[in-house]
Amino acid sequence: MPTSMLLKAVKLALVLSPIALGIGSTLYWLQGDLGRAPEFVVAEVAGVLVGVIGLTLCNVTLRWFRWHFLSRRLGARLLTRESFRAYFASLPLLLTPFYCGEMLRGLFFARRDRRLIRVGVAIWAIERLGDAAALATWGLVCVGQTAWAALAAGATLIGSRVALAQVERSAPPDRHPGGHWASSATFCATTWAAWALPMLGLWLALRVVGVTVDPTEAGHVFVVSTATGGLTGIPGGIGVSGSVAIVLLESQVTASDAVPWAIALFRAGTIWFAVSLGVGLFLWWRRDLLRLVRGDAVGANHFDEIASAYGGEIPEHVKQRLLGRKTKLMVERLANRGLPSRLRGLDLGCGQGWYATAMAREGFAIAGVDMSAGQVAKARAYAQAAGVELDCSVASAAEIPFEDESFDFVYSINVVHHILSEADRQSTYAEIRRVLKPGGMFFLHEMNTINPVFRLYMSYVFPLINSIDEGNERWVLPNALPQVSGAHWASDVDYFTFIPDFVPAWLLRWLAPVERVLEELPFSRRQSAHFMACLVRDEPIVRERSATYAADGNN
């Protein structure tokens, strides 16, 4: 037999053996009850499967969130949609000994740096240790050992913190900033929640087919059977986890004839559904996944690609509302400074020209720059249609094509979080300071991700349902603004808006009064969805005094 044919036969055997084992073990347990199945299963089977599959989808989504969170935290960043596809399409890797195949997900990180494959392996190890600890914790809860369960939970929290800190020492320097305790708490909470869902699914399957069992008893059976199957190293615990669960349940309940059916339905709606879903999604996304692994998934400028559809990404009532709020804040700040009329301003990252046009209508002379030629073309057309004179050009924020001290003010609307490199950000701030006149102001408009709920939405949900952000953004925090040489941040930051962008217009009108109250209350205003910070270029006298103070301090 040729070597190629032998290899194909081995691969086919590796694929089919878990399936054959699963079918064989199921038939073994059901062999005496197949004729009586319609009496107690068929009427409820659809409901059981729908319920268990729904919980499985939630479980897998939580696990994707955990994987994506760890990869961001450790610097192995994928775009959110890429990450979602990579994780879900690789679900068949569950059918590998000790789940070792899941380490192959590290290949998706290799596009940026092949050394990141090691980060992928480290993430796999952290996940497996976290899963084992979570199973142990839930097992202790189910047998009533709450004190030991609390101790196990605390040990898991501390252990995950140590593990993350250890991996970070060898992670890329551009890893996601954040506290170790917050990261370990997020990891642990996600892991515990993910394991609770299949425990609930097993209890649901048993109840529907007529097996009376307490949730804690079902949870204990799940923990023991899952741990036993995992320790054997058999792919997915096939033939072991289900058999152990049946033996344990038949020794505890009276309606033991229904137990094999409940376990069969449960396993069909968990491991087999997840693997089948992964196979289908892999076939659907295989070209995109291959491009991602090969490193040729990066195409044109993202904002060039979405230029034609960008306007439809934000509901019109949301766009107009934010446009009015942000424009008003800038106009008020400029008026309070007592600056002369007909000021010259720069829209840094002007996009489709909405804000540049609005500011021009307020009487300012506005220029705009954007890296996307497609967006600049849209901005010119939008301004022309509005009868507004607008000077737009294609340029980088790190190399602004204007002379020193050209502008009275500069502003950026949700731009800086798209500048991923810290060096590029420093260059951008230096360029902004350069083109500002002494005493000129830079208005930084950004998402306020101090609020953990909003950060979760913007980092993990918004990129999946919207094409504007990609999920690799680096958020700017209003309480951690960078130092800029020759300029200073104004002490007061404007916090505004709480209503999500998906709220319909009719509901927004009813919620607006509540939002105004939240914006005024000191304990809630900092949790808003948006903020505006103001950077002021130092005037010559300020710089001279600063130099004098520095000299005095050295004497």
Q: What b-and-e string marks burial along 220-251, b requiring 16 or more CB atoms within 10 Å of the CB?
A: bbbbbbbbbbbebebbbbbbbbbbbbbebbbe
Which pLDDT belongs to residue 27?
66
Q: Which of 46-55, 274-283, 286-295 has the lowest mean pLDDT?
A: 286-295
Q: Could you tell me the pLDDT band of residue 342, with boundaries at 50, 70 and 90?
A: confident
5 belongs to a structural domain: no
Which pLDDT belongs to residue 46?
81
- Cα dihedral sign for 147, 153, 156, 162? negative
Number of domains, the chain: 2
Does the pLDDT value for residue 278 go beyond 70? yes
Q: pLDDT higher for 526 or 46?
A: 526
pTM of the model: 0.85
305 belongs to a structural domain: no
- Distances, alpha carbon 18 to alpha carbons 8, 10, 21, 355, 508, in Å: 17, 13, 5, 59, 53
Within 10 angstroms of residue 498's Cβ, the number of other Cβ atoms is 22
Which pLDDT belongs to residue 19?
67
Phi first, then psi, for residue 448 (nearest 5°) are -95, 95
CATH code for the domain in which residue 341 is found: 3.40.50.150
3 belongs to a structural domain: no
7 belongs to a structural domain: no
Fill in the amino acid letter for 444.
Answer: L
Do residues 126 and 160 touch, judged by C-beta distance below 8 A? yes
Residues 175 and 80 in one domain: yes
Residues 80 and 111 in one domain: yes
Residues 202 and 351 in one domain: no
Residues 315 and 246 in one domain: no
163 belongs to a structural domain: yes
111 belongs to a structural domain: yes
301 belongs to a structural domain: no
Supply angle C-alpha 520, 525, 527, rounded to 5: 160
Residue-range definition of the domain harbouring residue 492: 310-554
Does the pLDDT value for residue 440 go beyond 60? yes
Does the pLDDT value for residue 138 go beyond 60? yes
Of all helices (H) and strands (E), which one includes residue 4? helix 3-30
Q: Could you tell me the pLDDT band of residue 301, with boundaries at 50, 70 and 90?
A: confident
Residues 337 and 288 in one domain: no
Widest CA span in the chain: 97
Domain end (from 266, 294, 322) = 294
Residues 278 and 340 in one domain: no
Do residues 285 and 84 touch, judged by C-beta distance below 8 A? no
d(Cα 451, Cα 457) in Å, to the nearest integer?
Answer: 10
What is the Cα gyration radius of the chain? 29
Report pLDDT digits (tens) over 65-75: 999 999 988 88
Q: Could you tell me the pLDDT band of residue 549, with boundaries at 50, 70 and 90?
A: very low
Q: Could you tell me the pLDDT band of residue 545, with boundaries at 50, 70 and 90?
A: very low
Residues 179 and 317 in one domain: no
Which pLDDT belongs to residue 555?
43
Which pLDDT belongs to residue 209?
83
